[in-house]
Chain A
Amino acid sequence: MSNPTTLTDEQLEEFGAELDAIRRRIVDSLGEDDATYIRNVVKTQRAFEVAGRALFYLPPAWPLAVAALSVSKILDNMEIGHNVMHGQYDWMGDPGLNSRRYEWDTMCPSEQWRYSHNYIHHTYTNILGKDRDIGYGVLRMDEDQQWRPYYLGNPVYATLLMLFFEWGVLLHDLEVERIVAGERTWADTKHLHRGMIRKVRNQTLKDYVLFPALTGPLFPMTLAGNAVANLVRNVWAFGIIFCGHFPAGVATFSEDETEDETRGMWYYRQLLGSANITGSRLFHLMTGNLSHQIEHHLFPDLPARRYPQIAEEVRDLCERYGLEYHTGPLRKQLGSVARKICRLALPTRRRTTPEPVEQPLAA
């Protein structure tokens, strides 16, 4: 088994054991406070949702309605949906907060997302060729992805993916790029179609037919408002998620490096393959605590509200083991990601090291 890390085998093992110990401590202390927290977030989200839907009846309040509905959708998808579907609250035994039952307010059926995200992305994080979240099959996000002229459109594809993010997530599992490449047939995706169609129908019916219709003559305004709220959520979610794995310095791995990896190595890969975003408590809430991407990747099924607390211990660990802890404010991380998207549209120039030449000691 290879050890591609900067740590010795013993260090890696110790490192893994320390993280396991953090995990055990958190699991043992889960209780009432965590349950109350997530229930309050749910209450807040539902209140924004109801307020948003209601404010469409007051035409001058249109911007407020859109804002409220956007907040509702962001909370629903991120702090609630994403985290509940990771099983962070399964220990509560509440069917309304159960990972296998929760359905979120977005196009992609939760069942399909759980497979591609929880399983594929979280298991094979940043392993080129395995983690389909690297570029989502459309973008070039890593130097080691072979350049093709197609990638000249990288910034355009990224913009489109941002605007239509919920559709991108929906179609993710079809692996269209592999169908195009002939590695997969349309028939292979058949099991996904029914769930997709049903969810898209429900979401469309609600946002683009029923709620607009309920506002009578204000139909077009309400329809537009719902569309904008979905768009706001798309842009926000895309931004946060792309800051989680693609800022400069975040590592990717090859399949060879990660064969038979130990628990310690898995943790190591999760740590170096993720980046945090700094910000206020409200900001963390609105990102679904994905601003603590590192802690989330180390412990995807621990309640996100514990990530700030865990972060302190992880930073300390990084210092002791001399590992990098990628973090920065949103603007810096976004800029870094945007530059990467543009830079990788062009072929990567292989750094040519000049032949060493003999040189006199003194000039």
Chain B
Amino acid sequence: MSLTRTILRSPAVAALTSPHGVDRYLELVNPMWAAHEVRARVVRTHRETHDVTTLTLQPTSTWPGFAAGQHVQVGVEVDGTRHTRCFSISSSDLARRMRGDRTFTITVRAHDDGVVSKHLARHAGVGTVLHLSRAEGEFTLPPLLPRRLLFLSAGSGITPVMSMLRSLVDLRYEGRLTFVHHARTPEETIFADELDEIAQLPNVDVTVLHTRLGDKRLNELQLTALAPAYADTLTYACGPAGFVETVRELYAGRDTLRVEYFKTSTLPPDDEAATGTVRFARSGQTAANTGATLLEQAEALGLRPEHGCRMGICRGCTTRKTEGTVRHAVTGAESSAPDEDIQICVSRPVGGCAVDL
């Protein structure tokens, strides 16, 4: 840690800048100065396809780095409101060590009605400052690389696998690497040129399938033809929910499979649980339980609970539940402990409950 940072993080500076903290002063001088928080400036944008853009980010000195395959929560202001979404890092995690390059990239597909993705992919130009979390996630390569690796991706799900692929190329990985990617058309294939280049390496097999041009979606026959021993090979898969589900079925519970979801599929709400009343203790409001997540129910009453990802990842919505039972919208797990901290974005009340909102 540099001397400046040691000073900025010292208890003395904390005492002098109390109660706001040193970052609240530094950011006003230069948004790229920080002692604790992590931010990044967009230094380059590159259009990959008609709706996908890669942003190169220069992080503040507080950025601790990442491992290939991890994602980061990106906060961006759109019309005065900061929205936070997860994005996988798409660049090599060895760029810093090998080329002294501290930047990294995220690659974003613009959803037509997507607040953040459209903003990042279309409007966030060079100079835009983004708020970052630390890199997170266990979708990473093992410390000891096996002799064979298999990557399966579809659409924008290529991003975390691309980061791994680029890192392995940087590392001069000598094992056998098979990469099967599904895109709609050649024009919509992200990183197409680079994939062609990497395919020249003798130990790498790259297959890009175009589902709009007659190639089949992922199935057993296809996978067996491309990677006969797939179930015994350490495999990384990422793509739309349907794609990941297919992969999981093919692996039937084998421990060789690692997956990353871009969108957690939630269980359908259970009408029988939608009884009783929900009490929002802090604001003194009560309402009949609609069966939706507590975050949605609170927002419907005009409350504005803090939150980030809205999908159970960031823990930005953690709130104390004082009474009642909630069911996790993704896992279906129920918990009834009084006074427990829950993630309200993925918690649906089962009957009446009370939360500290």
Contact = CB atoms under 8 A, between A and B. Distances in A.
Interface of A: 30-36, 42-43, 46, 50, 87, 90-96, 98, 100, 103-105, 119, 123, 199, 202-203, 205-206, 210-211, 214
B18 interface: yes
A353 B81 CA distance: 61
Given A92-B80, A93-B82, A206-B15, A98 B28 contact: no
B284 A119 contact: yes
Residue among B18, B19, B77, B84 with most chain A CB within 10 A: B19
B80 A31 contact: yes
Given A42-B28, A93-B75, 5 more contacts: A46-B25, A93-B84, A105-B20, A203-B18, A205-B15
Interface residues of B, number: 21
Contacts of A50: 25
Interface of B: 12, 15-16, 18-20, 24-25, 28, 75, 77, 79-84, 282, 284, 304, 306
Contacts of B18: 202-203, 205-206
Given A43-B28, A98-B306, A210 B15 contact: yes
Contacts of A211: 16
Contacts of B20: 103, 105
Given A43-B28, A90-B304, A91-B304, A103 B19 contact: yes
B284 A32 contact: no
A104 B19 CA distance: 6
Given A30-B80, A210-B16, A90 B306 contact: yes
A202 B81 CA distance: 31
Nearest to B12: A210
A242 B18 CA distance: 28
B24 A46 contact: yes
The 8 A-B pairs of least Cβ separation, nearest first, read A35-B80, A103-B19, A93-B82, A32-B80, A31-B79, A202-B18, A31-B80, A90-B304
Nearest to B283: A119
A105 B20 CA distance: 8
29 contacts: A30-B80, A31-B80, A32-B79, A32-B80, A34-B80, A42-B24, A46-B25, A46-B28, A50-B25, A90-B306, A91-B80, A91-B81, A91-B304, A92-B80, A93-B81, A93-B82, A93-B83, A95-B306, A96-B24, A100-B306, A104-B19, A105-B20, A123-B284, A202-B15, A202-B19, A203-B18, A205-B15, A206-B15, A210-B15
